[in-house]
């Protein structure tokens, strides 16, 4: 979304995570997506770095709020760290627990993840977006993970006590920008 918003043209190579192309692993051995490869061979393989680089090229609506840098970093670290861990346990509960007795119940992991939702709901009760009245890089970096959380058990999410979060999420899911980048693409094969 950041690349599209910034008007950066990329050659998009859709990969299968269970069958990563050698060219991807040669560029970035850690084997996670996204990987952005520049014509001179430079590589960015952290999505937040890709976003920041894109906004440095063009940021017409001021998604990059320099004065809130510390807060943005804190929120994104919470998202990518603790929240993501609880989200994965919640979302992939069957996979984590299959064949062995799970350490905790699915409700336990959901409740852990909810601590982040509660913090976001508080922010969104004050302003429309996480850092104020306008969209920032934090909203764009975080909403895809709230989307994952919501769709792990949509009925539960729909009935949950996070009205502002639901409106905030729905706004992104309906946006032209999101819909345009969710288009499906054929899988890239090195050969
Ligand atoms: N912190 C990294 C996380 C990237 C990440 O874990 N991506 C997942 C997909 S969303 C992945 O590539 N996993 C590797 C795998 O499943 O083999 C980033 O933001 O770029």
pLDDT at 97: 74
pLDDT tier at 186, thresholds 50, 70, 90: very high
Give every CB contact of residue 59 below 8 A, 6+ residues apart in sequence: 6
Calpha distance 128→106 (Å, rounded): 31
pLDDT at 95: 78
Asked if 138 and 130 touch (Cβ cutoff 8 Å), the reply is yes
What backbone phi and psi angles, to 5 degrees, belong to 29?
Answer: -75, -15
DSSP secondary-structure letter at 105? -
Using the predicted structure, report yes or no on whether residue 96 has a pLDDT greater than 80.
no
Q: How far is the CA of 169 from the centre of ligand 1 (A)?
A: 21
Asked if 110 and 88 touch (Cβ cutoff 8 Å), the reply is no
DSSP run (H or E) holding 47: helix 47-57
pLDDT at 70: 97
What is the largest distance, in Å, between two alpha-carbon atoms of the chain? 52
Asked if 92 and 98 touch (Cβ cutoff 8 Å), the reply is no
CA-nearest residue, atom 16 of ligand 1: 17
| Residue 162: other Cβ atoms inside 10 A | 19
Say what angle helices 137-152 and 163-173 make with each other, to 10 degrees: 100
Closest CA to 120 of 63, 93, 160: 160
pLDDT tens digits, one per residue of 137-152: 999 999 999 999 999 9
CA-nearest residue, atom 5 of ligand 1: 32
Q: How far is the CA of 27 from the centre of ligand 1 (A)?
A: 15
DSSP secondary-structure letter at 186? P
Using the predicted structure, report yes or no on whether residue 52 has a pLDDT greater than 90.
yes
Calpha distance 71→138 (Å, rounded): 9
CA-nearest residue, atom 17 of ligand 1: 17
Calpha distance 31→45 (Å, rounded): 9
Q: Which two tokens stand for residue 35?
A: 């990987």
Q: How far is the CA of 90 from the centre of ligand 1 (A)?
A: 17
pLDDT tens digits, one per residue of 103-130: 888 999 999 999 999 999 999 999 999 9
Calpha distance 63→172 (Å, rounded): 14
Using the predicted structure, report yes or no on whether residue 191 has a pLDDT greater than 70.
yes
Alpha carbon separation from 12 to 5, 49, 136 (Å, rounded): 15, 17, 24
Q: How far is the CA of 139 from the centre of ligand 1 (A)?
A: 19
- Segment 172-191 mean pLDDT: 96
pLDDT tier at 83, thresholds 50, 70, 90: very high
For the whole model, what pTM was predicted? 0.94
pLDDT tier at 49, thresholds 50, 70, 90: very high
pLDDT at 93: 82
Average pLDDT over the chain, rounded to an integer:
96
Using the predicted structure, report yes or no on whether residue 24 has a pLDDT greater than 80.
yes
pLDDT at 67: 95
pLDDT tier at 99, thresholds 50, 70, 90: low
């Amino acid at each position: 979304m950041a690349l599209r918003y910034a008007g950066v043209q990329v050659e998009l190579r859709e990969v299968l995570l269970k069958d990563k192309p050698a060219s991807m692993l040669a560029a970035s051995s850690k084997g996670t997506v996204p990987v952005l490869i520049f014509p001179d061979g430079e590589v960015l393989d952290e999505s937040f770095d890709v976003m920041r680089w894109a906004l440095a090229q063009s940021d017409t609506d001021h998604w990059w709020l320099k004065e809130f840098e510390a807060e943005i970093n804190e929120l994104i670290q919470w998202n990518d760290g603790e929240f993501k861990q609880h989200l994965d346990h919640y979302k992939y509960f069957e996979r984590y627990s299959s064949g062995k007795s799970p350490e905790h119940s699915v409700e336990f992991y959901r409740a852990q993840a909810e601590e982040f939702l509660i913090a976001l709901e508080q922010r969104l009760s004050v302003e429309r977006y996480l850092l104020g009245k306008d969209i920032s890089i934090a909203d764009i970096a975080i909403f895809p993970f709230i989307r994952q959380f919501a769709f792990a058990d949509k009925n539960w999410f729909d009935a949950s006590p996070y009205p502002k979060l639901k409106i905030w999420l729905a706004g992104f899911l309906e946006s032209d920008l999101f819909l345009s980048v969710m288009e499906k693409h054929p899988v890239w094969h090195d050969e």
